[in-house]
Amino acid sequence: MQPLYTASAEANWANNIDISEDNAANAGRVDAELARWATQTGSCAEGSLWKDVEVQKRALDMILNVGPAALEAEEYKTYNSILQQMQAHYSTATVAIENDYSGNNVDLGEIEEIMYIDAGKGSDQNYEQMRHLWEGWHNTADVQKENYTHFVELSNKGVINSDMGHADTGAYWRSWYEDPDFEKNMENLWSEVSEIYQKLFFYVRGRMSAHYGEERVAAKEAMPAHIFGNMWAQDWSALYPFVVPHPEAGERPDATDALSGKTEKEMFEMADQFFQGLGLPAMTNTFWEKSQLTKKDNMVCHASAWDFFVGDALSATEADGDYRIKQCTVKTHSDFVTVHHEMGHIQYYQNHAAQPIVFRNGANPGFHEAIGDTIALSVNTPAYLQKIGLLDGVTESPEADLNYLMQTALTKIGFLPFGYVTDLWRWKVFSGDTKPEQYQSSWTALRNEYQGIVPPVARDDAVNFDAAAKFHIPNNTPYIRYFISHVLQFQFYEKMCDAAGHKDELYKCSFADSKPAGELLKTILTPGNSKDAATILKEVGIEKMSADALKKYFEPLLTYLDTANKDYDTTFPSSSKWMPCAAGECPAKNDESGSTTVPGETTTSGTMPTIFSSIILALFALLW
């Protein structure tokens, strides 16, 4: 079993580091071998006499739950081939810059950089360039629809063939959470956080309408999806200059300038020191030898952490194991936080390495994401960044605190509906409630209903497939884990801060160098998924997932928003038919120069070229 897991990880790593037909074919072959093993083992396990023993039964149930791997060999080969085609298309897609006739296109990383800068400048010209790039990138996904439709059919067939009682792939994914009421509980969790999101939405919409004018951002309608400086409107941090509560209280904390004097490896070494300060294991020699920490040609840049299942798991020590991170690291504040997030995944791998291989995973996928994000909340505090020499002259005042909370909310709260909607859409696709001819309209409607946004240009079910413009759709990575993480991380954070003896406001807590906080974290990490998530939560004093800790963290900001929103409309546009003025037809409003190009021109193999990438990749590297 272990050699097959390792071989699969090695083959897929090679294909992520160097996308090629040969590497893709090899990854497909190895994954097919692993799938055959899983189905054969599942058949044997089904009749096992061990089923009456609780731990063995849990392990056997996991072995049996093989999902699409239950496809016949040729169909599984087709399944893998389609997946690789979709991944390759996404990773190599480019868009032409408007009015650039050089023939040089820009890739997604460069597009994100340009859009982030444009969003922060906010001129009429910036608005139109963002619209052009939004449309161009989303149009690259149109050709994915046929492949995706076939992929869904095969995935569902494999899940049904597995005879685990799952009606479709969505049900299979939800089974990982071991909660028979999972959909209802996610709906309830959304109800808890939606009020918080809407408070931020009303405030941002009011500010942006005042800036751009009614024709570009209507004060009582949905916001156009392209203005946020993020391709999916899941991270609003680029809008900070327009929504900062107290500009006079100083600039937002940003470590980018200090990081420019460090190497990418040094950024990872600083993260390693943070975890060691909690009493957690150091990164292994193999980690430093084999990780890919900078961008290279033909590489999948989406940051990810990998476990290669090397060594005898039952006698694993802190020094054992092959763990790696793949990241096109840029020396920015945002990527510094992402480095800690990804290393949080590695810590999970290291801490549960002594479990039998079937239990070497997170308690559920949301736990894995929440660990890295919990660490990031501590690392991102101005006090900690000042302590490690990445910030100077941090201002301490209620006004500066509100600015910091706004900066954090634009990323954390702004993300919540997208984290929920992405799999809500996929569950409907897998169940057949959303047909292929409805892919686009269903995606648009759900994002309108929950996010309050609309496409900036007309979209058509017969042509467009905007959902596939997000990495996790063509990569077939479930997404509800990120919604769960964005709630659960605040609960973990609160408990670790309590363990560290923190007595001040929650948002000021850094648990760096706290061994008690590290011990609490080990309680979460060490079992892997040998225990269900509910049991592990109770062991650290959490009765259930709730938004209470998130509300506590943002309490001063929520109070501020209640007052500020008296100046703005507070009707949420859940079924808006509004569209912004068409390109070339908008009245002049902010006509100062705002053109943005990538210095040195842009090619698909170029690196991200300027320091302005600070914060733009937040959540783009979310997590694997």
The closest of 489, 573, 617 to 201, measured between CA atoms, is 573
Q: Please, what is the Cα angle at 477 between 153 and 351, to 5 degrees?
A: 135
CB neighbour class for 586 (10 Å; exposed up to 12, middle 13-18, buried from 19): middle
Task: Classify residue 239 by burial, with Cβ atoms within 10 Å: 0-12, 13-18, 19+.
Answer: buried
Contact 244, 403 (CB under 8 A): yes
d(CA 228, CA 120): 9
Residue 317's pLDDT is 54
CB 222 within 8 A of CB 453: yes
The partner residues of 323 in beta bridges, in order of sequence, read: 307
Catalytic choice (352, 472, 486, 502): 472
CA 420 vs CA 310, 449, 479, 554: distances in Å: 35, 12, 8, 20
Pairing of β 105-106 and β 95-96? antiparallel
Return left, alpha or beta for 125; rule: phi > 0 is left, psi -120 to 50 is alpha, else beta.
Answer: alpha
List, in order, residues 6 or more apart from 168 with CB less than 8 Å away: 156, 159, 160, 430, 431, 432
Feature table: binding site for chloride = 177, 481
User: Residue 365 and residue 357: Cα distance in Å, rounded?
Assistant: 16
pLDDT of residue 618: 34
What 3-state DSSP class applies to 324? strand
3-state secondary structure of 559: helix
The maximal CA–CA distance of the chain, rounded, in angstroms, is 76
392-428 pLDDT tens trace: 877 789 999 999 999 999 999 999 999 999 999 999 9
In this prediction, residue 470 carries a pLDDT of: 98
Structure tokens at 478: 């479930």
Q: Residue ranges for the binding site for Zn(2+)?
A: 341, 345, 369
Residue 223 backbone dihedrals phi, psi, to 5 degrees: -90, 145
| Cα radius of gyration rounded to whole Å, the chain | 24
- How many residues belong to the chain? 624
This prediction has a pTM of 0.89
d(CA 201, CA 415): 11
pLDDT confidence of residue 607: 26
Q: Are 129 and 114 in contact (CB under 8 A)?
A: yes
Question: Residue 82 in contact with residue 150, Cβ under 8 Å?
Answer: yes
What pLDDT is stored for residue 594 in this prediction? Answer: 42
Strands 304-307 and 323-326: antiparallel
Q: What pLDDT was estimated at residue 43?
A: 56
Catalytic residue among 113, 135, 264, 342: 342
CA distance 92 to 94: 7
Q: Output the six-digit token pair for 22.
A: 């040969």
Binding residues are 177, 341, 345, 369, 481
What 3-state DSSP class applies to 114? helix
Is 342 among the catalytic positions? yes
Spatial CA neighbour of 187 closest among 12, 430, 420, 5: 420
CA separation for the pair 281, 323 (Å, rounded): 12
| Cβ neighbourhood burial of 96 (10 Å; 0-12, 13-18, 19+) | middle
**Beta-sheet pairing, 323-326 with 223-224:** unpaired
Q: Which residues pair with 305 in a beta bridge?
A: 325
Q: Examine the residue annotation and report whether 264 is marked as an active-site residue of this protein.
A: no
Query: Please, which contacts does 38-44 make with residues 24 or more away whose CB atoms are closer than 8 Å?
Result: 38/63, 38/66, 38/69, 39/66, 39/69, 39/70, 39/162, 41/1, 42/66, 42/70, 42/162
Task: Look up residue 25 and give its two tokens.
Answer: 């074919």
Structure tokens at 569: 């409309």
For the chain, list residues with pLDDT below 50: 49, 313-316, 593-624
Instruction: Please count the other Cβ atoms lying within 10 Å of the Cβ belonging to residue 285.
Output: 10
| CA separation for the pair 339, 269 (Å, rounded) | 10
Token output for 127: 């608005």
Question: How many other C-beta atoms are found inside a 10 Å radius of the C-beta of residue 212?
Answer: 23
Q: Give the position of tokens 């996991």.
A: 62
Residue 305 DSSP SS3: strand
Give 292's DSSP letter.
Answer: B
- Between CA 225 and CA 235 the distance in angstroms is 11
Amino acid at 187: E
The answer to whether the CB of 372 falls within 8 A of the CB of 408 is: no
State the DSSP code for 332: S
Q: Are 166 and 160 in contact (CB under 8 A)?
A: yes
Separation of alpha carbons 329 and 294, rounded Å: 5
Percent of the chain predicted with pLDDT > 90:
77
Structure token pair of residue 144: 């994915």
At a CB cut-off of 8 Å and minimum separation 6, what does 38 contact?
Answer: 63, 66, 69
